[in-house]
């Protein structure tokens, strides 16, 4: 690349970082100076729900299905596994019981009832907890998110 080409790349990267452009590849998700709306939602939900250990939102993007928001920043940009892709394709929850609680992944729907993303929720262990009870709790959390997200584009909106 000619010298002016590198300068252009550096300028574009600096402008993207300064303005918080919502580019959707893994490196941008990890390094963006401003967060996307999905990340804001994750942080808000975690503050309101003490029964949740961690939370992620994954969606299809220009880089394929990947984590676009998470309680652990190291998870941003991770490619989707079966627990995310299954609910994206089928609309059915994916539930795993682990030693430290239940992991529930549910589809998120837009206002036209189309799947726009999935939310993965790790619930803390609680007395009497069952697969059915955590799916019910998960659906309540998903409904909180859906009420604020009219479309998939909203998830990627800079904040």
* CATH number of the CATH domain containing 129: 3.30.450.40
SS3 22: coil
Query: H or E segment at 53?
Result: strand 52-61
Task: Answer for the pair 103, 83: CB distance below 8 angstroms, yes or no.
Answer: yes
- H-only helix segments in the chain: 3-19, 26-31, 37-48, 82-90, 131-146, 152-156
Tokens of 129: 């907890």
pLDDT surpasses 70 at 13: no
pLDDT, tens digit (0-9, with 9 covering 90-100), for 23-45: 444 444 444 445 899 999 999 99
CB 103 within 8 A of CB 96: yes
pLDDT digits (tens, 9 = 90+) for 54-96: 999 999 988 899 999 999 999 999 999 999 999 999 999 999 9
- In this structure, are residues 87 and 109 in contact, taking their beta carbons and an 8 Å threshold? no
| Number of domains, the chain | 1
Q: Considering only CA atoms, which of 80, 70, 84 is closest in space to residue 30? A: 70
Residue range(s) defining the domain that contains residue 112: 3-156
Judge whether residue 126 has pLDDT over 60.
yes
- pTM of the predicted model over 0.75: yes
């Amino acid at each position: 690349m000619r010298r002016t080409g590198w300068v252009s790349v550096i300028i574009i990267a600096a402008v993207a970082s300064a303005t918080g452009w919502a580019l959707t590849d893994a490196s941008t998700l990890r390094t963006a100076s401003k967060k996307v709306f999905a990340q804001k939602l994750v942080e808000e939900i975690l503050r309101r729900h003490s029964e949740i250990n961690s939370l992620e939102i994954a969606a299809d993007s220009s880089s394929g299905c990947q984590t676009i928001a998470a309680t652990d920043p190291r998870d941003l940009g991770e490619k989707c596994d079966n627990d995310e892709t299954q609910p994206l394709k089928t609309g059915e929850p994916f539930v795993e019981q682990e030693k430290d609680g239940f992991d529930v992944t549910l589809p998120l729907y837009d206002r036209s009832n189309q799947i726009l993303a999935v939310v993965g929720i790790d619930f803390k262990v609680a007395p009497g907890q069952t697969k059915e009870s955590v799916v019910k709790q998960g659906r309540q959390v998903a409904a909180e998110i859906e009420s604020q997200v009219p479309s998939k584009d909203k998830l990627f909106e800079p904040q």
